[in-house]
Amino acid sequence: MSREGKNRKGGVGRKLLYIFTSLLGVAVILASVAYGGFYHYYSKMNIVDVDENGYGYVSDDDINSSEASDTESQEEQVNPWDLPYGEVEYEYDFNDPDITNIMIIGTDSRKKGLWRTATDTMILVSINKKTQKVFMTSFMRDIQVYIKKGGNHREAGNDKLNAAYAYGDSKMMFETIEENFGIKIDKFVHLDFYSFVTLVDAIGGVDMYVTSKEIKYMNTVYLYEINKTLYHRPRGTDYLPYKTGKFHLNGKQALAYTRVRYVGGDYERTERQRKVLEEIIKKVKEMSPSKLNKFAERALKCVSTNLSQTEVMSLVMDAPECLSYETISTRIPVDKTYTSKKIKGTYFLIIDLKKNADYWYSLVYYDKDISKEIVQKIKDEKAEAKAKKEAEKAAAEADTATSTDAASPGGDNTSSTSSATSSAA
């Protein structure tokens, strides 16, 4: 399993699930057990009808403006549309009533109400009641996938996974995941930058240990952008002093902290996000029912979902039990199943779709981690390909040598004849 794919019972993964269920249920239970109380909170959420939700506009800049991938890259000037994506066939059975799959979508929207931007976060939460496990699977945003024509995607072809939502909302995103990975998803919870800022401010801010290197980019890149674009505040607003230490961060500062990629790449950025979530959960647990009620009133307005009232109520009722489940955190792609390439100026993760899909399905539906088997299979395939290449090279060299000998005047007989002539003389 990947370095993010270690099992953690009662650890960070469960806390991430806790904030999800707290937004949808725990706050409701503590504030009011009665169904009327639940209905009050459910009415605060933004309910989305995927079938009626139209496509919005997004420019190429919105999708490709993210920082370059932190993984090792190589320049490769090839046409991305020629790669063999969208041609993998799967035979997975998703008709298991004990398993629920919900995608948590985080978008980098810089305008209120503008949902259809690139997805900065895609976490598939899979709850398996049979095995009593919760799987948190992060899909890397730079994965190259095949996206069908539709919405603002005028030509079918390969693009980044995070572009699917921008081109055609959750509907196209789910179609893209199913087309490429064979994974069927139809339920989601959506948050954007404003939602995150509101949640942290509603909790009263978070205390975090921040390094001077992180602060450098928080101030000059992320806080500058957040205040200028989202809140129209002048340069320098919310800036932190350039020193390492513990700081009390407000919503905007916490957002900047979780977005830093220039220090430690995407791996450390994910770790920062989890640290902030840990602090939020810690404060949620310490809240009195009245404060939790106020928090829920403010926080639920930030959440958008296509979960029905019945489905949310079911999650609410299952939340206490789910919080006792073992939590497994992992990511797609699995280690050794991808390469990072720069194609026409844009970074992509070129991955083995089938191997990653098999890994996820085996893990969630059969409780079997086949990541080691996949890595070994890749090694075997590489060794086989290398041996085949060497054999072909050897055969080609042998053919060349034979051709050269055959092309020589008289071949070996010339030397023999010359020798015989010399002897006779």
Distance separating alpha carbons of residues 281 and 298, to the nearest angstrom:
16
| H helix runs in 286-324, sequence order | 289-299, 309-322
Q: Is the pLDDT of residue 235 over 60?
A: yes
Q: Range with the lowest mean pLDDT among 10-19, 196-205, 242-251?
A: 10-19
Our CA dihedral for 273, 279, 283, 285, rounded to 10 degrees, sits at 90
Domain limits for position 196: 12-203+266-369
What pLDDT score does 213 carry?
Answer: 96
What pLDDT score does 151 carry?
Answer: 64
| Sole residue written with tokens 């081109």 | 167
Residue 94, in any domain of the structure: yes
Residue 403, in any domain of the structure: no
Give the confidence band of 319 by pLDDT, cuts at 50, 70, 90.
Answer: low
What pLDDT score does 215 carry?
Answer: 96
Give the confidence band of 398 by pLDDT, cuts at 50, 70, 90.
Answer: confident
Distance separating alpha carbons of residues 43 and 214, to the nearest angstrom:
39
What pLDDT score does 114 carry?
Answer: 47
Distance separating alpha carbons of residues 326 and 13, to the nearest angstrom:
9
The rounded Cα 313 to chain-centroid distance in angstroms is 27
Highest mean pLDDT, choosing among 27-36, 309-318, 338-347, 406-415: 338-347
In the numeric block, which tokens belong to residue 103?
A: 């995608």
In the numeric block, which tokens belong to residue 349?
A: 């993760």
Q: What is the pLDDT of residues 375-397, one digit of tens each?
A: 888 888 888 888 998 888 888 88
| DSSP line for 101-149 | EEEEEEE---STT---S-EEEEEEEEEETTTTEEEEEEEPTTBEEEE-S
Residue 242, in any domain of the structure: no
> Average model confidence (pLDDT) for the chain?
74
Q: Which of 159, 389, 137 is nearest to 270 (CA)?
A: 137
The rounded Cα 186 to chain-centroid distance in angstroms is 17
Largest CA distance in the chain: 121
- What order do you get walking across the sheet with 188-191 strand by strand? 46-47, 304-305, 188-191, 99-107, 119-128, 133-139, 326-332
Higher pLDDT among residues 285 and 339, named by residue: 339
Residue 218, in any domain of the structure: no
Contact between residue 337 and residue 360 where contact means Cβ atoms under 8 Å apart: no
CATH number for position 61: 3.40.630.190
Q: What is the pLDDT of residues 46-88, one digit of tens each?
A: 777 655 444 333 334 444 444 433 333 333 333 333 444 445 6
What pLDDT score does 406 carry?
Answer: 67
**Backbone conformation region of residue 99, classed left if phi is above 0, alpha if psi is from -120 to 50, else beta:** beta
Distance separating alpha carbons of residues 126 and 17, to the nearest angstrom:
10
What pLDDT score does 46 carry?
Answer: 73
- Average pLDDT (173-189) is 89
Residue 215, in any domain of the structure: no
Residue 240, in any domain of the structure: no
- Average pLDDT (5-28) is 46
Number of domains composing the chain: 1
Highest mean pLDDT, choosing among 141-155, 171-185, 306-320: 171-185
Highest mean pLDDT, choosing among 25-34, 222-231, 236-245, 403-412: 236-245
Contact between residue 242 and residue 223 where contact means Cβ atoms under 8 Å apart: no
Give the confidence band of 294 by pLDDT, cuts at 50, 70, 90.
Answer: confident
Task: Give 273's DSSP letter.
Answer: H
Residue 222, in any domain of the structure: no
Residue 336, in any domain of the structure: yes
